[in-house]
């Protein structure tokens, strides 16, 4: 399965944020999106998900244009940058609602074992992030969008999440963005950079320096 | 619930109660749409629920419960 987003034009308070975006992602490959703060990474994922309307955008799945917001098709899940889960529900309820297996989660994250009946609000920010990232990654959807999945998470958990991404990509389209560019580069098969509102397909990591995303000499 | 009690003591009319609930639902919808609270709706969108479906369901449940409460309480007044 492939998903393409094209001709995106997004204005926020008369400021052009995205203009001239093309991004293609497919099952079996992780697509990473890099870019400076405020370049429109989150907006791009939100447009794809359908929670943000842009002036123009064309989304195609396997070449067929999608008219309605993608989330209404129940084929996509989105991990937003800021807290996903309502604070008042328990982890048990969250796993039930998103139809994800808790037992399997326990095998990956044993320290969460006593937290099954706990409310989301009682978890630390990092713990919430681990649970949210896992839930979205493991949800029974074809397309997974991850906005900053590595932020606020301990290094050991980051490694586990990267392993899970590598497993899940075999049956899902995964598009992710984060400022932890080392992790994004490591886990991604295809890399895009958002620069001046446009998307650039990165074929050589050195291009990240050429576009001034990374300081000159970072990779050389 | 507080609203139900107020309505019960002031003007216990079912159409008025439902209209008030509709107004409040629309107000909450507008508030969530226009503020950063809209971020919390992403969870429900992940479940495939659009804003329209979510707030319609909330209004329906609220309207049914309010109607039942008012019918029962009117018997005692």
Question: Once rounded to an integer, what is the mean pLDDT over residues A158-165?
Answer: 96
B contact test, residue of A70, A84, A133, A138 with most B CBs within 10 A: A84
Q: What is the pLDDT of residue A29?
A: 96
The CA distances from residue A124 to A154, A160, A163, B5, B24, in Å, are: 12, 18, 23, 38, 34
Which position has the higher pLDDT, A174 or B33?
A174
Distance from CA of A96 to the nearest CA of B (A): 11
Distance from CA of A19 to the nearest CA of B (A): 24
**Residue A89 reports pLDDT greater than 90:** yes
What does the pLDDT look like over A26-60, one tens digit per residue?
A: 999 999 999 999 999 999 999 999 999 999 999 99
Q: How confident is the model at residue B1 (pLDDT cuts 50, 70, 90)?
A: low
**Residue B8 reports pLDDT greater than 70:** no
Using a CB-CB cut-off of 8 Å, the residues of chain B touching A82 are 39
Q: What is the pLDDT of residue A133?
A: 97
Q: CB of A77 within 8 A of CB of A144? A: yes
pTM: 0.91
B contact test, residue of A80, A95, A120 with most B CBs within 10 A: A80
Using a CB-CB cut-off of 8 Å, the residues of chain A touching B50 are 69, 71-72
Q: What is the pLDDT of residue B7?
A: 67
**Residue B36 reports pLDDT greater than 90:** no
Using a CB-CB cut-off of 8 Å, the residues of chain B touching A77 are 46
With left for phi above 0 and alpha for psi between -120 and 50, is residue A194 left, alpha or beta?
Answer: beta
B41 DSSP 8-state letter? G
Using a CB-CB cut-off of 8 Å, the residues of chain B touching A73 are 48
Q: What is the pLDDT of residue B75?
A: 80
B contact test, residue of A71, A86, A145 with most B CBs within 10 A: A71
Q: How confident is the model at residue A145 (pLDDT cuts 50, 70, 90)?
A: very high
Q: CA-to-CA distance for B27 and B53, rounded, in angstroms?
A: 16
Interface check for A97 against chain B (CB to CB < 8 A): the answer is: yes
Distance from CA of A209 to the nearest CA of B (A): 33
Least CB–CB distance from B46: residue in A71, A73, A83: A71
**Residue B35 reports pLDDT greater than 80:** yes
Structure tokens at B64: 């049914």
Residue closest to A199 by CA, chosen among A29, A47, A2: A47
Using a CB-CB cut-off of 8 Å, the residues of chain B touching A134 are none
């Amino acid at each position: 399965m492939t998903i393409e987003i094209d001709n995106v034009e997004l204005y926020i308070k008369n400021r052009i944020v995205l203009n001239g975006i093309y991004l293609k992602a497919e099952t079996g490959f992780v697509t990473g999106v890099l870019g400076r703060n405020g370049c429109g990474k989150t907006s791009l994922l939100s447009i794809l998900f359908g929670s943000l309307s842009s002036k123009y955008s064309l989304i195609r799945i396997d070449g067929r244009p999608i008219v309605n917001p993608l989330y209404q098709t129940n084929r996509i899940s989105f991990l937003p940058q800021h807290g996903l889960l309502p604070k008042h529900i328990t982890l048990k309820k969250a796993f039930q609602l998103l139809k994800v297996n808790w037992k399997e989660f326990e095998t990956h994250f044993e320290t969460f074992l006593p937290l099954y009946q706990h409310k989301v609000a009682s978890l630390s920010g990092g713990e919430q992030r681990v649970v949210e990232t896992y839930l979205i990654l493991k949800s029974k959807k074809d397309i997974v969008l991850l906005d900053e999945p590595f932020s606020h998470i301990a290094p050991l958990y980051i490694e586990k999440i990267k392993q899970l991404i590598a497993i899940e990509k075999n049956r899902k389209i995964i598009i992710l963005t984060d400022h932890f560019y080392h992790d994004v580069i490591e886990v991604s098969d295809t890399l895009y950079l958002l620069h001046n509102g446009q998307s650039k397909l990165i074929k050589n990591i050195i291009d990240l320096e050429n576009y001034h995303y990374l300081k000159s000499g970072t990779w050389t | 619930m507080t609203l139900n009690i107020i309505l019960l003591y002031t003007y216990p009319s079912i159409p008025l109660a439902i209209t008030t609930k509709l107004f409040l639902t629309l107000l909450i919808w507008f508030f969530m749409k226009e503020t950063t609270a809209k971020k919390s709706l992403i969870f429900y969108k992940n479940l495939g629920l659009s804003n329209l479906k979510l707030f319609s369901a909330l209004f329906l449940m609220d309207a049914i419960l309010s109607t039942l409460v008012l019918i029962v309480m009117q018997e005692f007044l």
